[in-house]
Amino acid sequence: MALTAPPWTAVVLTLFPEMFPGPLGLSLAGQALKAGVWALETVDIRTFARDKHHSVDDAPYGGGPGMVLRPDVVNAAIGDLRALAPELPLVHLTPRGRRLDQSQVQALASGPGVALLCGRYEGIDERVLDAWQPDEISLGDFVLSGGEPAAIALIDACIRLLPGVVGAEQSLHEESFEHGLLEYPQYTRPRVWQDREVPEILLSGHHARIEAWRRAEAEAMTRARRPDLWSAYLRRPRCAAEAVAAPTDDE
């Protein structure tokens, strides 16, 4: 296995390498991939099986349904990766991991890349996870068929933060979670649609008032829809850069 060395590299350890790039080959991510802004490598875990049937899983000790990925096979795949790319943080995508948030995405996007270990079936033998100590990350409190869809989502979130991928970089600073809040509502033409009008403040050209309105809408939406985020937001120290003062009449 040979890895390229662009500014940011994603390596996916998976039983289904044909699932990649998938949607990552389209739109902004796909354009950046073709331009060499980032690179994608896949490692087929099955190629590290040593028996004639290329077995990668076995029945769980203690009984129970399903199959478990074997530690010797997964260990060989990780070991091969580590020998070639020791600088990449290893992430295991699993429902039992800590919930992925924007701060984690920013941290990964600012580094050399990420190696993503995708589980399947009932999971991976705990011993190999103990041996390599990957950072365990979850997209949320639900279960997917495997780690591949989660890997695609995490990679996409990182790619769009890379320099030059998103055209209007200012938009990155106004999205959901960037300031601990959900994003404010957005509107475009036509001005009236199905008897619904664009809020008058957005047509005023008064930038300070528009900014204050957007912050108020973001706060109201976060408070109503994500009480957990709202509580965390209220605990944050308010810095001058985040505080939006109400505009005065003479502004």
Distance CA 154, CA 141 (A): 16
Contacts of 229 (CB under 8 A, 6+ apart): 177, 180, 181, 182, 222
Per the annotation, binding residues are 119, 139-144
Contacts of 56 (CB under 8 A, 6+ apart): 15, 45, 46, 49, 69, 70, 73
Per the annotation, binding residues for S-adenosyl-L-methionine are 119, 139-144
